[in-house]
């Protein structure tokens, strides 16, 4: 009996995470509601059990909806169902469904109509430099920014991107990947805009220390963004001391693709929440699963092996999603970071690199 319940629970988790691959969310909500109303009218014991189970699943589906699922037709449908539940005394389930709807819809509004970040007149980053902040403080504030964006990511949105690869359908993912790129170009700019070799080496050392703290906080997203910066061609060609090069090696091992990124996967598996994984590899794994497996079997049935593989890839995201870091916001440092908006483009970075170390004419 326990084994049966465990299998059902696991199947339920897989279904809730992957059903969008073979049926529209609005169709699932509508069919579950139709099933609930069918059994609700019956009074035998079996029907009562089916009524409760169907209603529980309906509420779970509503709470698993992504912000981008909440188009007008879906909102109207769920709202009508909640009203029906209230009138029939199902107050607790109505409140659960309503809470999920309100939370996700508010996120949708935020994603589609982002408000500009307010600027505090009392805080200024003028004259501040990266070197005056501790690596711990920098890593903590970077992690807070990452965490805010990571918690907006829905596993279902990652699954949708792997199938459609359409940015318009994945605004939270777009924000998260754009932030990764901004962090990386910000770090490159900090190194290459240094006036002297001594300052450049000190900046490299500081960023490596930040990476060490990011790994301590299991923030692999910003860690790999900074690593991509320090290992980029305009910086790598300059050559740095052996001490700095050796300090960079343990972090560079995370991007070693041998054994399907074995080093990174091991580090992630050993991490405890809170944790922010590198989304790029998650998307790569989901894409491979999608391309390498059919959605339906020859008899027309859903390929649940594919759904299970997708769930395995996404389960860490779900597990880390609800955990929060306990760091305190540092408004002065956040003003200095300025959401990593102050950076140079590729051409400008290469120009600075060649000014520092001109290309050989041979």
* pLDDT, tens digit, 9 for 90 and up, residues 311-356: 999 988 888 887 889 999 999 999 999 999 999 999 999 999 999 9
65 Cβ partners below 8 Å, 6+ apart?
25, 74, 78, 100, 101, 104
Q: Mean pLDDT across the stretch 29-53?
A: 93
Q: Which long-range contacts (CB under 8 A, 24 or more apart) does 36-43 make?
A: none
pLDDT band at 104 (very low <50, low <70, confident <90, very high): confident
Q: What is the pLDDT of residue 121?
A: 37
Q: Indicate if the pLDDT at residue 136 is higher than 70.
A: yes
Confidence check: pLDDT of 3 > 70: no
Over residues 191-219, mean pLDDT:
95
SS3 label, residue 323: coil
Largest CA distance in the chain: 90
So what's the pLDDT on residue 122?
41
Predicted pLDDT at 2: 60
Closest CA to 185 of 360, 359, 343: 343
Once rounded to an integer, what is the mean pLDDT over residues 77-103? 92
Confidence of residue 290 (pLDDT cuts 50, 70, 90): very high
Give start and end residues of each alpha helix (H) in 195-241: 197-216, 220-230, 233-236
Tell me the backbone φ, ψ of residue 302, rounded to 5 degrees: -65, 135
Choose between 142 and 64: higher pLDDT.
142
Q: What percent of the chain clears pLDDT 90, i.e. is strictly above it? A: 64
Within 8 A by CB and 6+ apart from 85, the residues are 91, 93, 94, 97
Domain boundaries, the chain: 2-112, 130-356
Q: Is 48 a residue whose pLDDT tops 80?
A: yes
pLDDT band (50, 70, 90) for residue 5: low
Confidence band, pLDDT 50/70/90 cuts, at residue 78:
very high
What is the DSSP code (8-state) at residue 355?
Answer: H
What's the whole-number mean pLDDT along residues 19-46? 92
Identify the band that residue 171 occupies on the pLDDT scale cut at 50, 70 and 90: confident
Let me know if domain 130-356 sits in CATH 1.10.840.10: yes
């Amino acid at each position: 009996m326990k084994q049966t319940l465990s299998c059902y629970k696991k199947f339920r988790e897989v279904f809730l995470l992957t059903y969008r691959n073979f049926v529209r969310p609005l169709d699932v909500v509508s069919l579950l509601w139709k099933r609930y109303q069918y059994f609700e009218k019956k009074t035998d014991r079996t029907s009562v059990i089916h009524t409760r189970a169907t209603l529980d699943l309906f509420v779970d589906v509503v709470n698993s909806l992504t912000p981008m699922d909440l188009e007008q037709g879906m909102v109207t449908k769920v709202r009508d169902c909640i009203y029906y539940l209230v009138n029939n005394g199902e107050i607790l389930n109505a409140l659960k469904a309503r809470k999920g709807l309100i939370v996700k819809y508010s996120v949708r509004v935020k994603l589609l109509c982002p408000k500009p970040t307010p600027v505090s007149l009392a805080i200024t980053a003028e004259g501040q430099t990266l070197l005056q902040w501790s690596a711990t403080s920098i890593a903590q504030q970077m992690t807070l920014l990452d965490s805010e964006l990571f918690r907006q990511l829905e596993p279902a949105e990652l699954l949708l991107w792997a199938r459609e690869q359409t940015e318009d359908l994945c605004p939270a993912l777009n924000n998260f990947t754009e932030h990764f790129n901004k962090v990386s170009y910000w770090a490159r700019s900090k190194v290459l805009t240094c006036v002297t070799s001594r300052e450049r080496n000190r900046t490299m050392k500081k960023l490596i220390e930040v990476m060490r703290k990011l790994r301590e906080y299991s923030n692999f997203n910003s860690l790999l963004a900074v690593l991509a910066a320090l290992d980029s061609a305009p910086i790598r060609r300059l050559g740095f001391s052996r001490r700095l090069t050796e300090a960079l090696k343990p972090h560079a091992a995370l991007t070693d693709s041998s054994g399907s990124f074995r080093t990174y996967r091991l580090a992630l598996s050993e991490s405890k929440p809170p944790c922010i994984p590198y989304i790029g590899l998650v998307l790569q794994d989901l894409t491979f699963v999608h391309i390498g497996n059919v959605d339906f079997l020859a008899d027309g049935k859903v390929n649940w092996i594919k759904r299970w593989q997708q769930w395995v890839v996404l389960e860490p995201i779900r597990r880390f999603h609800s955990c929060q870091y306990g760091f305190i916001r540092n408004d002065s440092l956040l003003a200095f970071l300025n959401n990593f908006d102050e950076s140079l483009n590729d051409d400008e970075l290469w120009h600075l690199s060649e000014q520092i170390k001109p290309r050989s004419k041979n």
